[in-house]
């Protein structure tokens, strides 16, 4: 099994897949949002606990996340959460931890259009349910990249 994540400043989403790139099987997906009363450090602690629960399945052998591509100041908080994610995966002993930019996803999936349009590969097929949400689409695309051909 593989898991793809997409972090934001105050939430993260994930998609767990099995199978192959040509025949992916959805095992699960979800969204976890920061409780409103939490400060940023409290949120990171809370997120660490949630991530540890999500990745506790010993069958998860690859973890990937859609890396931040912007240079806005808000990106810093997203990078903090991505750091927590990497630490959790490493502590759990997941053998392969990787990040992806849209251009890398485009290359990995042999998408011939513009990198920003790579989400179109989800429109039809078993992952179509993730097409309407940019965040879930990013997590699903990263997970798809991690599956064997």
Q: To the nearest 10°, report the CA torsion of 125, 129, 134, 137.
A: -50
pLDDT at position 74: 62
> pLDDT tens-digit profile of 121-135?
888 789 999 998 999
Mean pLDDT of 33-40: 96
Q: Does domain 2-146 have CATH number 3.30.420.10?
A: yes
Q: What are phi and psi of 55, to 5 degrees?
A: -95, 15
Please report, for the chain, the start and end positions of each structural domain, with discontinuous segments joined by +.
2-146
Query: Lowest mean pLDDT: which of 7-11, 88-92, 109-113?
Result: 109-113
Predicted TM-score (pTM) of the model is: 0.93
Q: SS3 helix, strand, coil % of the chain, rounded to 5?
A: 45, 25, 35
Mean pLDDT of 12-17: 98
Residue 116 has pLDDT above 80, yes or no: no
pLDDT at position 76: 83
């Amino acid at each position: 099994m593989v898991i793809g994540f997409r972090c934001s400043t105050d939430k993260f989403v994930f998609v767990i897949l099995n199978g192959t790139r040509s025949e992916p099987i959805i095992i699960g997906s979800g969204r976890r949002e920061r409780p409103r009363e939490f400060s940023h450090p409290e949120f990171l602690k809370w997120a660490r606990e949630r991530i540890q629960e999500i990745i506790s399945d010993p069958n998860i052998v690859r973890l990937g996340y859609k890396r931040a591509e912007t240079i806005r100041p808000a990106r810093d908080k997203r990078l903090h959460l991505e750091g927590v994610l990497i630490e959790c995966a490493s502590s759990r002993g997941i053998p392969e931890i990787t990040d992806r930019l849209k251009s890398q996803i485009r290359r990995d999936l042999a998408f011939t259009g513009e990198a920003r349009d790579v989400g179109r590969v989800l429109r039809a097929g078993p992952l179509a349910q993730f097409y309407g949400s940019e965040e879930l689409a990013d997590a699903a695309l990263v997970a798809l990249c991690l599956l064997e051909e």
